[in-house]
Each structure stands twice: as C-alpha cells, then as structure tokens.
A and B are shown apart, each in its own frame.
Chain A
Amino acid sequence: MTGAVFAFIGLGVFLFIIVLVLIVAGMYNGLVRGRNETKNAWAQIDVQLKRRHDLIPNLVETVKGYAKHEQGTLQSVIAARAAAVGAPTVDARIAAEGQLTQALSRLMVVTESYPDLKANQNFLGLQEELTSTENKIAFARQAYNDAAMMYNTKIETFPSNLVAGNFGFKPEPLFQVSDEKERQAPQVKF
C-alpha cells in the first residue's frame, strides 16, 4: 500500500520535473534566438556602413569632374570617410559615421546647382545607391532596435527573467538617435 503511494508520488515528481525542464528549455531557446537576432541585426548595420565607405571614392570622382568649385565639400567627405574607416573605438566610429552622414548630405545639396551633373547617368546611379545605403543603415538600426527591445523585454519580465539570470543573458544597449530629425526620418531624400 505505502509502496504504491510512494511510487505514485515518485511518478508525479518525475513528470513535474520533466515538464519543468521542457519549459525552461523552451525559454532558454527563445532567449538564444532573441540574442542571435540582435547580433545579426547589429552585424547588418556594419555591412551597410562598409558599403557606404565603398561608394564614396566613386562618388567623389564623379562629382569632381563637374563641380570643380566644391573642393571644400568634397574634402570634408573624404576626411570624414577616412576618420570613420580608421576609428580606433566604437564610440569614435559612431561619431565619425555621424560626421560622414552630415558631410554627404551637404555634398548632395551642393550638387543640386549643377544640372550637367544631375543629368549624368553614372551620377544618377550613384545617387540611387547612396540614397538606398542611407536607408539601409537606418532600417538596419531600426531592425536592431526592434530585436534588442524584444530581447531585453524577455530578459526583464517574469518568468523568462529567472532563466535569463541563471544563464547569464545580458540586455543589449539600444541605438540612441542623437539627432531628433534623424529619429523621424529613416529615409534620406536628396
């Protein structure tokens, strides 16, 4: 009689443990998925920033031929690109990329007054690529923030916070948009 009761309780405990392990495993996997999505989104931002670096020499070459009086603007684009490529720390890099964004939009404003340049097929192609790259940087940041915010919420809320705490999942920092105008406009229009 007592043997049967113990067996019954033992079975109950055993099932309970199995269910618990399954739930914890599910949460753990969810957290890992969230972390991977966040990491992947971060990597995408990097890819797009590199793409922008690659576009600039070509763009400068094309503009140079038509807009000879804009040496200053061109120089600032080249300097900002060099600073971004050679930035030693992440913070320095973020600052330099911001400078580059501003220098590029100044250059695009300047090109407005050169109708010959705006009719150039090569320039039109580069302009579309630059617009798109700026968009992609903005969308990649947006995707990173979406992923990170979702992951952070999971880490901070019950019950997944228990699993997160025990396995060392840390919240990811969100991309802070310093410029209010930039926050409103993921699209850069020239």
Chain B
Amino acid sequence: MWEAIESNRRRSTLLVAGMGVLLLAMGSIIGVAIVPRSGWAGGLVVAFGVWVVLWLIAKFQGDRIMLSIAGAKKIEHADAPQLFNVVEEMVLASQLGKMPDIYVIPDDRPNAFAAGRTPETRVVAVTSGLLRLMSRDELQGVIAHEIGHHKNGDPALMILMGVMLGAIVLIAEIFLRSGFHRGRRSDRDRNGGGAEVALAIFAIVLAILAPVVARILYFACSRRREYLADASAARFTRYPEGLASALEKISVQFQANHEANRVLAPMYIINPMEALAAVGMFSTHPPTENRVKILRAMGGGVGYVDYDAAYRKITGKAGCIGKRTLAADTPAQGREATHLPPVETREVVVQRSREVGNLLGRMDGLVVMTCACGVGIKVPPGSPWASIPCPRCGRDNPVPKAAEPANPGEPIVYRRQGKGWDSFQCSCGASINLSPAFQGTSKSCDRCGRTITIT
C-alpha cells in the first residue's frame, strides 16, 4: 500500500514544485520592479517569507479553525455507534493505523470532509444531514472516500498547495494595489529607464496572470486527488456501488450552499459551491455525474486498475492513476452491485432521523426525554420548568434533575433511570448526558464544577 501512493504523490509533487517556482519567480520579478537595487534575491526572500508565515498559521491552527467555524463536535463510540464502527472498519480495510478523530457538524446538507496533516491530528467530519440520509453501505462508501484521502496524504498536500496559492494571491494583490504607483514614480525620477518600464509592465502582467495559473494548478491537483480517493474507496469497501449511490443521493439533495466558505470548499466530498454546476478548470471537484458513472463502470473489479480503465472509458482521457500504483495493484473482486436503491423502510429512516436528532440535541447540551406516548421532548439547559406537558398527549413530564443536597457539604445525588442514554439537569440547571457506555459512579458538572454521585 505504501508504494502504491508514491507514484501518485510524485505526480502531485510536480504540481507543487510548479506552484513553488511560480511563487518564487513572481516574488523575485516583482521585487526587482519595486526596488531595482535589491536584485533578484530580495523579492524571492520576501515571497518565501510570506509563504512560511502562512504555512505556520495553517500548520498550527488550520484544521481546528475550520472545525470550529463549522460548529463541529467530536464524538465517541457511544454517541453514534454506527458512524464510529464504519470509520473503524475503513481504518482496518485501509491499514491506516491510528483512528482519526470523528466530528459531527450540525448541518442538514449531506457532506463530509477529511482534514489533518499528521496521523495524530487526522479528522473525519460528517454533517448530521449525511447521517440522516445514508444507508449503512452508503455511509461506508463516503467514509472510505475520506479515509482514502488520509491514506493518500491529501489533507497535507492540499494545505501545502492552498498556502502557496494564498501567498501568490496575496503578493499579487498587494503589488497591484500599491507597488504600481511606486513603479511609475521611479520612471519619472530616472527619466527614461526603458528597461525598467518594460520590467514594471512585465511584473504587472505576471501579477495578474500568476494567481490565475496558480488556481488552475491548485484545482487540477484537487480534482486528481478526488478521483484517486474514489478509487481507494472502491478498493477498501470492495463495493463501488455504495459510494456511487451515496454521491447520487448527495447531489440530488443538494441545494447550492452559499454559506460555505470558499476556503473550505475543496475539503468536502462534494463541492458545496457548485454541486451540480458545469465543471471547468476552476472547480475543485470533478463532476459528480462522472464520478458516479466511473464507479458503476468498473465491471465487478474493485482495484485501481479497474478504476483507471473505467475512468478512461467514461471520460475518454488518459488514465488518472500513476503507473507504479497500477503496477503494484493486486487483483480484487467486489461484491455484486444491486442497481436498485437499497431497500429502506420508512421505519428505518424515521428511526435514523430520531437518533441523529437526539445526537444533535445532546451535542447542544439539551436534556432529551421521551414521553410515554413516544414523543421526544428536548429541554434547553437552564430551563426553569420542573415539568413539561407533552405536546401530543398532554401528559406532564417531569424534567429529571439531581436534587440539591439537604446539607451544604454533601454530594449531589442522581439515580440512573436505565441502561440507555440518560439526560438530566444538575441542581444548577446545566444539562448532563450519560451515554449507555457510562460505567462511572460520579460525574462533575461542566457549569458549576460540583461532583454528582451517580447511583
């Protein structure tokens, strides 16, 4: 597996090198145009410096900033067992090694992304919409695609490319907005430095063109990695139909997402900016329709060789996977794909929606309780009501609460209701959720900090 990635990485390394040369060349020429005496090295060093600063910011903060923008919450096995299990299965199939952290993003639009440069910081994030919508096989396909990104080292590569793109855009913008005028003044002062005028014009043209070229390089790299991750997903799951069906569902469900930040777009499984739009040189993702067609044209095989053949058949272009990866590929047979949509009864879908709703409620610190008539009631933290009437049957449902101890020194005590999820309020009003896996005898309240004895 390790060698299989190498040949594709080498192709991407060429794109990275091209981008680096572009950045340094642009910096160098702009440097000479602004301060002729600095020589070619001055601007080059400045461009390199800008790149290093942006890289450091991305390195230490990037992923976490992204997750917190999206409002993502980390989950454990007890919170969403199926999601957690599916990730574990794909980590096994891909021999990724360490489990990535799993985050859920409260968002009804189905999507998923992979982030994190190192094995320790790896993240797989999915939206609640995805959990609600996908059958187990489809969820597995999507997770396999994200694990494929990790296995192929894509988050690190795309951050590197993204940072270089950012540096090029930044330097070009600054030059075009301010450096311009300086260049003209120096002409006037020196009165007829023809070479310098030519250089200034060249620098301006470069500053306009470089960001465009850099974007094309960036998007080309991104699209290539998407195809590769699809191929990996087919190989890991041995079931290309799972991902194909998931992509189809996602693109049908998708409404254009204007909230999504442009910077986050390449990280998602489907580009939120242009889910169904035509795809040209400036898109981060290949057309979803093509991806589905390729996955369905693999003809029972699930290896990289099969994917590459299907890619050539559908797109009519040369293959998308490196030669050495294809050479190292071992033949593998898949499960049979049923071209019918997976049988999902209404009950299954409703049950899954309920579970996702309860998961989100717990993530938001709500007390989740169920009325005897089956209606789920969610109580916000700090709610002053001791009981809430059921909106359907009118029954009064007391909000479970840990009682204030009779004497100040004694601990707060809460008696567990059963073995499943248990939601209650601390005597200070904060919500506390115990998962089915909770085995302890005490829990400290996040708000007031006191320890609650669980019996």
Name the residue on B nearest A122 (C-beta).
B419
CA separation between A40 and B94, bound complex, in Å?
12
CA separation between A149 and B136, bound complex, in Å?
29
Cross-chain contact A153 with B330 (CB below 8 angstroms):
yes
Cross-chain contact A136 with B1 (CB below 8 angstroms):
no
**How many residue pairs between the two chains, A and B, have CB atoms under 8 Å in the bound complex?**
70
Mark A178-190 against chain B: 1 for CB-CB distance below 8 A, else 0: 0000011111000
CA separation between A63 and B218, bound complex, in Å?
55
Cross-chain contact A146 with B239 (CB below 8 angstroms):
no
CA separation between A135 and B85, bound complex, in Å?
9
- B391, CB-defined interface residue at 8 Å: no
Cross-chain contact A139 with B1 (CB below 8 angstroms):
no
Looking at the complex, which one of A41, A121, A136, A149 makes contact with B89 (CB distance below 8 Å)? A136
Looking at the complex, which one of B82, B85, B92, B236 makes contact with A44 (CB distance below 8 Å)? B92
- A129, CB-defined interface residue at 8 Å: yes
Cross-chain contact A187 with B335 (CB below 8 angstroms):
yes
- A143, CB-defined interface residue at 8 Å: yes
Q: A121-B420, A150-B330, A186-B335 are in contact. Are A143 and B92 (CB under 8 A)?
A: yes
Cross-chain contact A132 with B88 (CB below 8 angstroms):
yes
Cross-chain contact A142 with B93 (CB below 8 angstroms):
yes
Residues 32-50 (chain A) with a chain B CB within 8 angstroms: 33, 37, 40-41, 44, 48
CA separation between A44 and B92, bound complex, in Å?
8
Looking at the complex, which one of B85, B92, B238 makes contact with A128 (CB distance below 8 Å)? B85
Cross-chain contact A147 with B95 (CB below 8 angstroms):
yes
- A173, CB-defined interface residue at 8 Å: no
A187 vs chain B, min Cβ distance (A)? 7
Cross-chain contact A136 with B88 (CB below 8 angstroms):
yes
Residues 118-156 (chain B) with a chain A CB within 8 angstroms: 136-137
- A125, CB-defined interface residue at 8 Å: yes
- B385, CB-defined interface residue at 8 Å: no
A122-B420, A129-B81 known, 5 other contacts, Cβ within 8 Å: A37-B1, A125-B81, A128-B82, A136-B88, A146-B95
* Partner-A contacts on B (CB < 8 A): 1-3, 81-82, 85-86, 88-90, 92-95, 136-137, 236-239, 328, 330, 332-333, 335-336, 419-420, 436
* Partner-B contacts on A (CB < 8 A): 30, 33, 37, 40-41, 44, 48, 121-122, 125, 128-129, 131-132, 135-136, 139-140, 142-143, 146-147, 149-150, 153, 183-187
